[in-house]
């Protein structure tokens, strides 16, 4: 890419922002503030976040104005996956060892992931928890933060940009991007290529966050990692949707998701076979 | 694209196979992963020694669903007696036919062959999130513990 790039680490992953002109330090500072604000609300990995306070004490908690799209998407995907994709998998992830200190040591305890209605209620601005609920918005949160970072760029007049949070990629403005779909079993290889323009492509696979035979994509109905699908890709207008859909593709009938959302998708089964939406515009190396 | 005039047997045979797939998709919700493989040898070609003419063929197939007569259009490409491409278009009008035909069409799946990313001209790679900092350190620490034990 000829564009100047800004690289940094945020919320546990490397990021890169490509823009036509070098990113102004003032704009980058605003981006970092936005990321910090998001992390302080939603991170399960820091003690001072809103999500950590909620985990300690049940009650009613007002959320910042960025919360409604996130909770609404989670609710739609919770319904579309018959409860398999849930923001309530936080405790199960902790018990499996994906906790604040990255102990990566599964405990003997397995607490059932509660159903949405028994644990939380979202009224559009406030979340009421009935038990000490450990929220984990990891399945769509990073994608959403990519959208929010692109909003900060737009506020500063940077309308053409690519925000790549590693796995969650948003293109805005002029031109297009040719994107390789990484093979989950051999990351030096691609299984296909697709061109995106003014849209997001998000990928999900358990290959890099795996430990002790476990990984981080849990079916809320069993509380255990999924094993039938080994990689997914979703292309949607926003990174919030694409990220959430990439996770939902591990659990749901893709035809049902495509009915509900404006998206293209590809997924790879553990047998090595690949399925894709009829409208997938990219090339797969079949 | 050539229409099917000179080699009806081969395509009708394949269309028949395809429709069995479509109908079995109606009776189970499983995706028909085995139906649309990219490299499928035309079964009769090797058995009888017949040679099929390379080209792209289109044929419509009919079947009777509980809601009446339905049609799917199958287009396939033959090269050296091997089917190298298959497209299926559903024409179902009633909701359940649309659903099942859609599931069938979406369910076309095939083995992929990875290509080296280095040799592809791409701007970006879409894979699972890279890890940084804490997770990597934790994995390293666990590996070190495991070696020490």
Whether residue B108 and residue A275 make contact (CB cut-off 8 A), yes or no, is yes
pLDDT at B33 over 70: no
The answer to whether A172 and A198 are in contact (CB under 8 A) is: yes
The mean-pLDDT minimum among B54-68, B72-86, B111-125 falls in B72-86
Which tokens is B41 given?
């040898």
Looking at residue B36, what is its pLDDT? 35
CB-based contact, A108 to chain B, within 8 Å: no
Residue B40 above 70 pLDDT?
A: no
Q: How far is A257 from chain B (nearest CA, A)?
A: 12
Nearest to A102 among B105, B106, B135 (CB): B135
Q: How confident is the model at residue B84 (pLDDT cuts 50, 70, 90)?
A: low
Residue B28: pLDDT over 60: no
The minimal CB distance from A203 to the residues B114, B126, B132 is found for B126
Stronger pLDDT, A269 or B24, i.e. the higher one: A269
In the structure, what pLDDT confidence band is assigned to residue B9 with cuts at 50, 70 and 90? very low
Instruction: Give pLDDT < 70 ranges for chain A.
Output: 1-3, 211-212
Spacing of C-alpha B122 from chain mean position:
25
Nearest to B10 by CA among B42, B49, B56: B42
| C-beta atoms surrounding A206 within 10 Å | 19
CB-based contact, B109 to chain A, within 8 Å: yes
Q: How far apart are CA A189 and CA A231, in angstroms?
A: 14
Q: Tens digit of pLDDT for each residue in B91-131?
A: 766 666 665 665 555 545 566 778 888 888 888 998 877 76
Report whether pLDDT(B5) > 50: no
Please determine, for residue B45, whether its predicted confidence score (pLDDT) is greater than 70.
Answer: no
C-alpha distance from B44 to closest chain A C-alpha (Å): 23
Cα first-last separation, chain A: 27
Q: Does B102 touch chain A (CB under 8 A)?
A: yes
Residue B12: predicted pLDDT: 36
A242 with A202: CB under 8 angstroms?
yes
Size of interface A-B (CB pairs under 8 A): 160
Query: Domain residues of chain A, as ranges?
Result: 57-129
Per the prediction, chain B carries an average pLDDT of 60
- Which range has the worst mean pLDDT, A189-203, B29-43, B52-66, B129-143? B29-43
Residue A101 in contact with residue A219, Cβ under 8 Å?
no
Phi first, then psi, for residue B25 (nearest 5°) are -65, -30
Output the pLDDT for position B19: 36
**Phi–psi pair at A46, nearest 5 degrees:** -130, 140
Do the Cβ atoms of A12 and B133 come closer than 8 Å?
yes
CB atoms within 10 A of CB B94: 12
Cβ–Cβ contacts within 10 Å for residue A243, how many? 34
Residue given tokens 């940084």 in the structure block: B132
Start-to-end Cα distance in chain B? 66
Residues 122-151 of A with CB under 8 A from B: 142
């Amino acid at each position: 890419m000829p564009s100047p790039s800004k690289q940094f680490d945020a919320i546990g992953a490397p990021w890169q922002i490509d823009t036509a002109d070098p990113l102004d330090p003032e704009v980058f500072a605003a981006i970092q503030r936005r990321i910090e604000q998001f992390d302080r609300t939603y991170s399960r990995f820091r003690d001072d976040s809103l999500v950590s306070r909620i985990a300690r004490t049940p009650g009613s908690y007002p959320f910042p104005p960025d919360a409604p799209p996130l909770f609404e998407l989670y609710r739609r995907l919770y319904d579309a996956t018959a409860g398999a994709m849930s923001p309530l998998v936080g405790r199960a992830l902790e018990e499996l060892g994906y906790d604040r200190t990255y102990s990566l040591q599964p405990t003997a305890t397995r607490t059932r992931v509660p159903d949405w209605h028994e644990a939380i209620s979202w009224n559009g601005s406030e979340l009421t928890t009935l038990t000490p609920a450990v929220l984990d918005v990891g399945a769509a949160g990073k994608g959403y933060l990519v959208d929010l970072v692109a909003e900060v760029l737009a506020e500063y007049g940077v309308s053409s940009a690519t925000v790549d949070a590693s796995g969650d990629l948003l293109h805005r403005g002029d031109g297009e991007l040719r994107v390789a779909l990484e093979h989950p079993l051999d990351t030096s290889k691609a299984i296909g290529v697709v061109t995106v323009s003014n849209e997001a492509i998000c990928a999900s696979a358990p290959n890099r966050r795996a430990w002790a035979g476990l990984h981080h994509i849990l079916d809320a109905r069993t509380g255990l990692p999924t094993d039938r699908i080994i990689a997914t890709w979703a292309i949607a207008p926003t990174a919030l949707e694409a990220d959430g859909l990439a996770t939902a593709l591990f659990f749901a009938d893709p035809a049902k998701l495509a009915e509900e959302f404006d998206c293209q998708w590809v997924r790879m089964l553990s047998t090595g076979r690949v399925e894709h939406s009829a409208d997938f515009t990219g090339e797969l190396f079949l | 694209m050539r229409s099917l005039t000179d080699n009806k047997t081969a395509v009708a045979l394949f269309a028949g196979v395809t429709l069995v797939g479509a109908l079995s998709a109606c009776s189970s919700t499983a995706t028909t992963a085995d139906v649309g493989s990219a490299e499928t040898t035309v079964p009769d070609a090797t058995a009888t020694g017949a040679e099929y003419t390379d080209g792209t063929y289109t044929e419509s197939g009919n079947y009777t669903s509980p809601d009446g007569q339905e049609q799917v259009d199958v287009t396939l490409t033959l090269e050296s007696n091997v089917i190298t491409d298959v497209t299926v278009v559903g024409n179902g009008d009633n909701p359940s036919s649309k659903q099942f035909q859609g599931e069938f069409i979406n369910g076309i799946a095939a083995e992929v062959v990875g290509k080296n990313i280095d040799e592809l001209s791409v701007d970006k790679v879409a894979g699972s999130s890279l890890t940084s900092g804490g997770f990597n350190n934790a994995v390293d620490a666990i590996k070190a513990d495991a070696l020490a034990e």
